[in-house]
Amino acid sequence: KNPRVVNINNFRLELEPVNRFILIHNHDKPGAIGSIGSLLGDHNINISRMRVGQEEGSDKTMIFLRTDTPIPEDVIEQMS
């Protein structure tokens, strides 16, 4: 059985940290998740799992993405 993470620095989200994954800090606003999905899709990168956790009492979110293929560094830089 794989380990599970249920809380990271006041962000509540449940995830299995296996294979290829990335954690993205973001703000909860319309289009934030869509822009990440579009960017990955433009580079032919499939998201196999996604979880979003919000910091209690704020608009900050943490997005967990697991992908089928590695995300190139230049694409990661475009996410920030």
Q: Where are the domains of the chain?
A: 5-79
pLDDT tens readout for residues 15-38: 777 778 888 988 999 999 999 999
Share of the chain above pLDDT 70, in %: 99
Identify any residues that bridge with 51 across adjacent strands, giving them in sequence order. 64
pTM for the full model?
Answer: 0.79
Region 71-79 average pLDDT: 93
- Higher pLDDT among residues 54 and 34, named by residue: 34
Q: Which CATH architecture has domain 5-79?
A: 2-Layer Sandwich (3.30)
**18: Cβ–Cβ under 8 A, 6 or more apart, which residues?**
2, 66
C-alpha–C-alpha distance, residues 78 and 59, integer Å: 21
C-alpha–C-alpha distance, residues 21 and 54, integer Å: 18
